[in-house]
Structure 1
Amino acid sequence: MSEPGAGKGSSQEVGSGKRGRPTVVVAGGGTAGHIEPALALADAVVRLCPDASVVALGTSRGLETRLVPERGYPLELIPPVPMPRKPSADLLRLPLKVRDSVKRTREVLERVGADVVVGFGGYVALPAYLAARGRVPIVVHEANQHAGLANKVGARFARSVAVAVPGTPLPGARVVGIPLRRSITTLDRVALRAEARKYFGLDPEAPTLLVFGGSQGARSINTAVSGAAREFAAAGVGVLHAHGPKNTLVVQEFPGKPAYLPVPYLERMDLAYAAADAVLCRSGAMTVAEVSAVGLPAVFVPLPHGNGEQALNARPAVDAGAALLIEDSALTPATVAERVVPLVADPDRVAKMGAAAVGLGHREADEVLATMVLEAAGVGMT
């Protein structure tokens, strides 16, 4: 795809030129899988270069309207450019939408004095790449093994390309992992265990399973895990289950047994990880990276839609002995009772899997990527 009205020039045409005080623009809107790595990168940039400014690009449709301001960064909204999955009238209108979004994005880059643009894929990244091309250095980060369209385009003219896993087919890619929040990469689960259990009202001693299905929950996970509540209680296993803010979950109580605690959403994910002995969840790239970084044994249930990306994300952990994989279609209360309950109730197996998980993480990914970004902006790093 060609850039509407592409211009040529050096990176200094738009950037401020203040080498010690760079302005970094991050484009990672839409889903948490794009936004959270962008914000972790932003935190690392400011940590390594306190004089740096970070501005986030997003649209009014995405989670960034909540997540970015909460983290203290300015958010600039641009028109979204969603790619139609099937031939339609929207496809015919796509060139005009791209041109409008690129124009608006270029105005933002000029106004904030961008020295580098960092894209994390998705429909915010594509106009950012096209607006920056030939004007501002570009750094691309791809979290999945199969790169999305936006990052395939951006990588063609990027200064640097970073990927989360080996084998991602982008030119000149460097494997760095996924940038994660410091509250995750520095988490001491053992030290926080008692506080975390008290925070959620969980049994202080019982083996505990953490369950979640993404920010909106997952119906199949909710049904299967809650359907095994009796088996969890009989085995003396507690459950902390985030079912999603738009879902409800009614679970039978068993007096005298560890609590099965349903909650709509987990505001303190760090404490949720600290409270748990194992986790059952989807296997998005960000989730797999976090679970591995904190050393939690996992039961991954890949999203059944898409191109099989989530199963690929889970494979290294499964191969290393740090996780089990259960297909969504096979996840039933009986399967949970047979495969998940015995795992959580076995402390030796939990310890062995947790040790295997720790070795998979890239805890330094945020600062490695931040160094690449600052160097692209012309800031020398020692």
Structure 2
Amino acid sequence: MKKLKFILSGGGTGGHIYPAIAIANELKSRFPDAEFLFVGAKDKMEMQKVPQAGYKIIGLWIAGLQRRLTFDNTLFPIKLLSSLLKSRTIISDFKPDVVIGTGGFASGPLLQVAAIAGIPTVIQEQNSFPGITNKLLSKRANKICVAYENLERFFPKGKMILTGNPIRQDLIDIKSKRAEALKYFNLDANKKTLLVLGGSLGARRINQLIAKEILAFSAQNVQVIWQCGKLYFEEYKHFSDNENIQVLSFIDRMDLVYAAADIVISRAGASSVSELCVVGKPVIFIPSPNVSEDHQTKNALAIVEKNGALMIKENELDTQFNIVFNNLLSNENLQKELSENIKKLAKVNATKDIVDEIVKLISK
């Protein structure tokens, strides 16, 4: 069998990058001799994260359209043309067997060029409400792997496969890691642990909320692991002076931090939601209102409507947070109910199922 070649494109946020890496890792485990190339957007976080995972990446000069009139918007047509031309060069030089897009600006021009060249393309859509790039690409894509039901109004029904979102395999059995996790983060087993996740860059409004409530948490015998994001670390790191609080810019061992947590406060990015379903801890979602199409609120609602999590909108935090959090903290039955219900929504085989679909395209 000839050596297989795969191009993967996804970036801008961890929610697009980590699924692409998870898919590449699964492909690599099945085809150890295969060649891999990632394509991202210059100056975005994928340019660091992908090489750290052991893969080569090429950057395109591309960015999304801003909602307001900016100088960057005037450059968009030039950037798009540049990215289409560079994508054509990448495709003709590398000659991939399949091109896989997990979302983000770079996947648009790359998958468009691949589809026109007759190369099989696969879209992996993480959200319950797809972005404009994937909606446009879906017309030419061979397969669309989705994480939510009822997306027929956005994508051709015959191309869709319900797979779920790729997740880190080390999250599948975190129960057995509880003791290791408490030791790793130097936590007290007799106290409740609150994990606060704001995404890889951080979440301003969540950070402001936690800074305001931090002493109240401590008074309630709650210890906090607060991932504030690299943009905000300098501003909040002094809170770590309190023995009950650990402020981190980034968490390397997500398996252990989830194992240690009793309650999680999180944004509702698609990857985070999928991970939290597998992890099965009681969650309060605080969706970001600043993402296109209000994706995060829709992602959170898909869980909340099945009684698998709680949700507070940013503009309701001042009036609702203490009521919701204190009720959850004091109500063991509610914690157990949410935990059991969110776990029912987990799709632990998502990565394998997506790669099965990719393999079917190769063997045609």
Shared fold (TM-score, shorter chain, > 0.5): yes
- Whichever residue aligns with residue 322 of structure 1, its letter is G
Structure 1 residue runs without a partner (length 5+): 1-18
* Larger RCO, structure (CA 8 Å, separation 6 or more): 1
The reply on whether 1:315 has 2:298 as its aligned counterpart is no
Provide the C-alpha distance between the structure 2 equivalents of 1:327 and 1:336, rounded to a whole number of angstroms: 9
Match among 24, 48, 52 for residue 66 of structure 1: 48
- Whichever residue aligns with residue 205 of structure 1, its letter is N
2:268 partner SS:
coil
Match of 2:203 in 1: 218
Provide the C-alpha distance between the structure 1 equivalents of 2:78 and 2:240, rounded to a whole number of angstroms: 54
1:55 partner SS:
strand
The reply on whether 1:202 has 2:187 as its aligned counterpart is yes
Map Cα deviations across residues 230-270 of structure 1 (whole Å, 9 max, x no partner): 3323332211111122222244977xxx7122222212111
Map Cα deviations across residues 77-117 of structure 1 (whole Å, 9 max, x no partner): 22214334346665565444323211211211222221111
Provide the C-alpha distance between the structure 2 equivalents of 1:147 and 1:239, rounded to a whole number of angstroms: 34
**How many residues matched?**
355
Match of 1:5 in 2: none
Moved more, 308-317 or 94-103: 94-103
Asked whether the equivalents of residues 33 and 284 of structure 1 are also in contact (C-alpha less than 8 Å), the reply is yes
Change (3 A) 1:205 1:190: farther
The reply on whether 1:366 has 2:348 as its aligned counterpart is no
Moved more, 258-267 or 117-126: 258-267
Show the 5 A alignment for 1:2-13: none
Map Cα deviations across residues 264-312 of structure 1 (whole Å, 9 max, x no partner): 2212111111110110011111111111111111000011224322111
- Whichever residue aligns with residue 297 of structure 1, its letter is P
Match among 312, 327, 339 for residue 313 of structure 2: 327
Match of 1:349 in 2: 334
TM-score, normalization by structure 2: 0.90
Change (3 A) 1:93 1:280: closer
Provide the C-alpha distance between the structure 2 equivalents of 1:342 and 1:193, rounded to a whole number of angstroms: 25
Q: Percent identity?
A: 30
Provide the C-alpha distance between the structure 2 equivalents of 1:55 and 1:158, rounded to a whole number of angstroms: 19
* Cα offset, 1:192, TM superposition: 1.0
* Cα offset, 1:20, TM superposition: 5.0
Match of 1:123 in 2: 105
Structure 2 residue runs without a partner (length 5+): none
Match of 1:183 in 2: 170
> What's the Cα RMSD here?
2.2
TM-score, normalization by structure 1: 0.86
Map Cα deviations across residues 173-226 of structure 1 (whole Å, 9 max, x no partner): 222111112122x2x222111211221122123111100211122222122223
The reply on whether 1:147 has 2:115 as its aligned counterpart is no
Moved more, 82-91 or 230-239: 82-91
Change (3 A) 1:86 1:220: closer
Asked whether the equivalents of residues 144 and 165 of structure 1 are also in contact (C-alpha less than 8 Å), the reply is yes
Asked whether the equivalents of residues 240 and 246 of structure 2 are also in contact (C-alpha less than 8 Å), the reply is no
Map Cα deviations across residues 3-29 of structure 1 (whole Å, 9 max, x no partner): xxxxxxxxxxxxxxxx55311110102
